[in-house]
Amino acid sequence: MTDLIHEAPQPEEQKSAAPEKPTTEKERQKRVYAYIAVLFTVAFILILWSFLANHRANQEVIRELRGSTSLVQSTLEQNAELEGEIEALEAQIEEMKQSFAEAEEAYRASGDRQAAIITALDWLGELERYYNAGMLSVARQTVQAIRDNGLEPFLPDYPLHTSADGDYEAPAARYEKIVNKLFPDGLD
């Protein structure tokens, strides 16, 4: 059983507590340089870490700026397309205005022509009444008034009524008959 008992190691002799030697100036400088080297290393590591973090943040900002730049570019392209469409629509509006003005002018001319036809037919009716009533001098004055007002070309050269008999004459033909009877030698 003695084998099982293990004895505690004998304490070594305690070294005599000798006072430490004062360090020399070179050793102190070495320690200061080592301390400064450690501080510079830590500072360099912190600066490098800060640089990398800043670089990463800058890369993200650059990506965002590129995204916003492409968005701005897309917006500018859409704006240019819209401006082109606006110009096309303005040109179309101008064409429509011009077409409307032409149509309005044609309508007015048509209205003026219709009014001239009505006036010429009215004067023809008066001429026929005077001629049939035997008022030949008044009928001659009416023919002269029709000529002076330039209404002769507005008398229709087709019958205004249709019938199975076809007995209606065109107003221009009726006018010529009366004029030929009133002025056998011609108007001029």
User: What residues does each domain of the chain span?
Assistant: 27-182
> Cβ of 151: how many Cβ atoms within 10 Å?
19
Question: Is the pTM above the cut of 0.75?
Answer: no
Let me know: does 139 contact 89? Beta carbons within 8 Å: no
Question: Quick check: 34 pLDDT over 80?
Answer: yes
Q: Is the dihedral of CA 48, 54, 57, 62 positive or negative?
A: negative
Displacement of CA 140 from its chain's centroid (Å)? 65
CA distances from 69 to 36, 58, 64, 72, 76 (A): 47, 16, 8, 5, 10
Q: How many CB atoms lie within 10 A of CB 48?
A: 10
pLDDT at residue 13 greater than cutoff 60: no
CB contact set of 126 (below 8 Å; sequence gap of 6+): 142
What burial class does residue 24 get, using C-beta atoms within 10 Å of its C-beta: 0-12 exposed, 13-18 middle, 19+ buried?
exposed
Taking only the tens place, the pLDDT of each residue in 127-185 is 889 889 988 889 889 999 888 888 889 898 888 777 666 677 888 888 899 899 888 88
* Residue 81, number of CB atoms within 10 A of its CB: 10
